[in-house]
Amino acid sequence: MTFRRAPYYYPWIAALLLLTAGCGSARRDEPTGPPVFLPSRPAVLGEEVFMHRCNQCHPRGEAGLGPALNNKPLPGFMIKFQVRHGFGAMPAFSEKELSDFDLNNVVAYLKTLRHSG
Output b/e per residue, 75-102; b: 16+ Cβ within 10 A. Answer: eeeebbebbeeeeeebeebeeeebeeeb
Measured from the CB of residue 40, what is the shortest distance to ligand HEC in angstroms?
17
Helix (H, G, I), strand (E, B) or coil at 1: coil
Among 31, 34, 73, 88, binds ligand HEC (CB under 6 A): 88
Of the pair 6, 89, the CB lying nearest ligand HEC is at: 89
Check the CA dihedral 30-33-36-42 and report its sign. negative
Nearer to ligand HEC, 7 or 88 (CB): 88
Chain residues that interact with ligand HEC, rule: CB under 6 A: 53-54, 56-58, 65-67, 69, 74, 79, 82-83, 87-91, 93, 98, 106
